[in-house]
Structure 1
Amino acid sequence: MTSSDPASDTTVFLVNLGTPDAPTAPAVARFLREFLLDPRVVAIPRLLWQPLLQRVILPRRSPVVAEKYAQVWLPGEDGGSPLTAYTRRLARGVQARLPGMKVVEAMRYGNPSLVTALQAERAAGTPRVLVLPMYPQYSTTTTLSVEDAVAQVPDLAVRTVRDYHLDPQWVAAVAESARAHRAANGVGEHLVFSFHGLPQRLVDRGDPYARQCEAGARAIAHALGLADDAWTLSYQSRFGKEKWLEPATDKALKALTDRGVRTIDVIAPGFSVDCLETLEEVAIGLAEQVAHAGGTLRYIPCLNDSPAHADVIAALVRRELAAWT
């Protein structure tokens, strides 16, 4: 790219959800406080929710969650929380493919803060900012919350990517990742697509998340050449007592083992990079559940900072910038 190319005046933010700064109870409490006070995440009125959160939930949950983070925390200077480390490394990979622009990671909650980074770009006079939420499927709880953060920084030319759940290059990359993993480890008897859960009431109100999960899973299954009875879609990571999307991943796995399926592959294409929910909840917790039932769960990692993922994101950026121009 040259200086005459408008893309050379663009900053690209790869935005993920965020994590604690350390696997400790105080750090987890700070992160959860910010996350759970977002009305897009928890819709309970603040006057009722904030005292419950501060006095009951955070004191009880923070030490437990900190222990879970400690199990998956990555070592070394380039380590830390898997979600942060992989997003940071992915940004470097995308930057190498887009040398004419600035590509950095940012987090909706925690550090590095998206709002703070946008304010810095405004102060620097950056002509254009492309915000790419690292959520393949759109939801009011994730992508729209990123848009809320963008709206906090006016007087800045920003374009936000809505979703990419049917992007052909992304579908092909996820399918190839699953194909390579199964070639190296053997093909399981069944493939489970596990997506993050969502309250059913949000879908009933028009949130497109579930529809996009189903469309993306079906496209990946088709790319893998799977018959309809060879794969299952399910939802994990529930919170609270209200009705969430079904089937739940733990129940879907139980149904498979109850009918005699012993080797189950699980992939989580709703997560762009591995994190607490994929590594601790699925690769450790649900794998133990399946093992207790006499089976084996083989977790297929997210695309993470792989070259194929960097290629996908770089292509998305180029396309969005072309549309913007």
Structure 2
Amino acid sequence: MTNNNKSRRIGVILANLGTPDGTDYWNMRRYLAEFLSDKRVIEWPSIIWQPILRLIVLSTRPKKSGAAYARIWNREKNESPLRSYTRSQAEKLAALLHESKAAAKAQTANAELDIDWAMRYGKPAIGAVAKAMVARGCGHILLVPLYPQYAASTTATVNDVFFDSLKAMRCQPAVRTAPAYADNAVYIDALANSITAHLAGLSYRPEKLIASYHGIPQSYVRRGDPYYEECKRTTAALRQRLGLDNEALLMCFQSRFGPEEWLQPYTDKTIEKLAKEGVTSLAVFNPGFVADCLETLDEIGNEAAEIFHKNGGTDFTHIPCLNDSDEGMRVIEHIVRQELQGWL
């Protein structure tokens, strides 16, 4: 394909965290080895961390994580929910953009849109998808890390592998990366509408609402990571949009790993404390996750619910992520349209 034609094709890659190919020991080990070897995720010196990872973590954690994945596995497609949702998001985005007036104008200008998806860890790999797009003639590529709040261990590592893939290309495309959107009005409205609709379908009104974000070590924040502040921005915007105060809508952090102190308050400890204090009904949602995955479906939907009930709570509900719903796709489409301005 000539450079002239190549420049007229625009690629969009939706990128999320990653997923194992199966729940068995070896698939889990391969996935965890890649994930936990990322220096953006574990910032300890390799000479200290790698022996711990290889000799201890990868000997025990694959079995435990595999059992957790098995509880939420999409058995119909034999894949994780995150893979199912991310693929669907890309397919729906392609339909939305190709049917839009903006896409129609692009077609008039002989520009074509190429929408695909990728994972930071596991398959399909970001580098492989980027390479395939260039081979198909994409002279422009927009990378969209599917993380509403920026963190070095999520957004930055997605960008890292994307730019690494460009190093092997003699003829590189023009590239952009979409920024985080912690308090973007379209995103906040979508979350608020999703929460309101879910609560309206319950036979009870939860006494407390918890926004549970994935945690990071406090040391990362001290080194300059903006993640904590971005989570605060999302929570503040939601409180305002829903008309709730700090006591009605709590901000917590889940999924801690290792001996370091992570961002607090911890979700599991907060849920246990609320139940012991007499709170009988609770709703938890995950505004930092674009799609439901292990951390939402199992850690919250199963483990957090068990903690609540075990300590005296009665009614517990997990509010699903936006996923590939109309509200969720409205957010993704908005972000992509915004970042494609000037190319279309």
TM over 0.5: yes
Q: Name the counterpart of 1:190.
A: 208
Q: Distance in 1 between matches of 2:283 and 2:52?
A: 38
- C-alpha distance after superposition, 1:199-237 (max 9, x if no partner): 001111111101010110111122112123211100000
Q: Name the counterpart of 2:109.
A: none
The within-5 A match list for 1:162-311 is 162-185=179-202, 186-295=204-313, 296-311=315-330
Amino acid at match of 1:111: K
CA apart distance, 1:75: 2.2
CA apart distance, 1:7: 10
Q: Distance in 2 between matches of 1:103 and 1:168?
A: 24
Q: Distance in 2 between matches of 1:156 and 1:59?
A: 42
Q: Distance in 1 between matches of 2:308 and 2:282?
A: 9
SS in 1 for 2:134: helix
Match status 1:139 vs 2:173: no
SS in 2 for 1:309: helix
The within-5 A match list for 1:26-65 is 26-65=26-65
Q: What's the TM-score, normalizing by structure 1?
A: 0.94
Q: Name the counterpart of 2:3.
A: none
Q: Name the counterpart of 1:317.
A: 336
SS in 2 for 1:312: helix
Residues 262 and 294, structure 1, Cα contact 8 Å, conserved in 2:
yes
The alpha-carbon distance between structure 1 residues 76 and 7, as it changes in their structure 2 partners (threshold 3 A), is farther
Percent of aligned positions with the same letter in both sequences?
Answer: 40
Q: What's the TM-score, normalizing by structure 2?
A: 0.89
Residues 7 and 321, structure 1, Cα contact 8 Å, conserved in 2:
no
CA apart distance, 1:271: 0.5
Give the 4+ runs in structure 1 shifted more than 6 A: none
Amino acid at match of 2:26: P
Q: Distance in 2 between matches of 1:67 and 1:255?
A: 27
Residues 211 and 252, structure 2, Cα contact 8 Å, conserved in 1:
yes
SS in 2 for 1:17: strand
SS in 1 for 2:76: coil
CA apart distance, 1:28: 0.6
- C-alpha distance after superposition, 1:261-300 (max 9, x if no partner): 1101001000000000011111100100000112132100
Q: Name the counterpart of 2:89.
A: 90
Residues 137 and 163, structure 1, Cα contact 8 Å, conserved in 2:
yes
Q: Distance in 2 between matches of 1:323 and 1:241?
A: 47
CA apart distance, 1:302: 0.2
SS in 2 for 1:18: strand
CA apart distance, 1:50: 2.1
Structure with greater Cα Rg: 2
Q: Distance in 1 between matches of 2:115 and 2:37?
A: 29
Amino acid at match of 1:34: E
Bigger mean CA deviation after superposition, 259-268 or 219-228: 219-228
Q: How large is the RMSD of aligned CA atoms in angstroms?
A: 1.7
Amino acid at match of 1:241: P
Q: Distance in 2 between matches of 1:259 and 1:222?
A: 26
Amino acid at match of 2:263: L
Q: Distance in 1 between matches of 2:31 and 2:131?
A: 21
Alignment size in residue pairs: 320
Amino acid at match of 2:233: A
CA apart distance, 1:93: 1.3
Match status 1:130 vs 2:142: yes
Match status 1:16 vs 2:16: yes
Bigger mean CA deviation after superposition, 114-123 or 25-34: 114-123
Residues 97 and 311, structure 1, Cα contact 8 Å, conserved in 2:
no
Q: Distance in 2 between matches of 1:318 and 1:96?
A: 13
Q: Distance in 1 between matches of 2:317 and 2:255?
A: 18
Residues 237 and 277, structure 1, Cα contact 8 Å, conserved in 2:
yes
CA apart distance, 1:194: 0.2
Q: 1:158 aligns with which of 170, 175, 180?
A: 175
Which ranges of structure 1 fall in alignment gaps of 5 or more residues?
1-5
Residues 147 and 155, structure 2, Cα contact 8 Å, conserved in 1:
yes
The alpha-carbon distance between structure 1 residues 179 and 92, as it changes in their structure 2 partners (threshold 3 A), is same
- C-alpha distance after superposition, 1:11-54 (max 9, x if no partner): 11110000100111110100011111110011122233223212
Residues 268 and 304, structure 2, Cα contact 8 Å, conserved in 1:
yes
The alpha-carbon distance between structure 1 residues 7 and 291, as it changes in their structure 2 partners (threshold 3 A), is farther
Q: Distance in 1 between matches of 2:342 and 2:294?
A: 35
Q: Name the counterpart of 1:3.
A: none
Which ranges of structure 2 fall in alignment gaps of 5 or more residues?
1-5, 104-112, 167-171
Q: 2:160 aligns with which of 133, 136, 148?
A: 148
Q: Distance in 2 between matches of 1:228 and 1:57?
A: 38
Residues 7 and 139, structure 2, Cα contact 8 Å, conserved in 1:
no
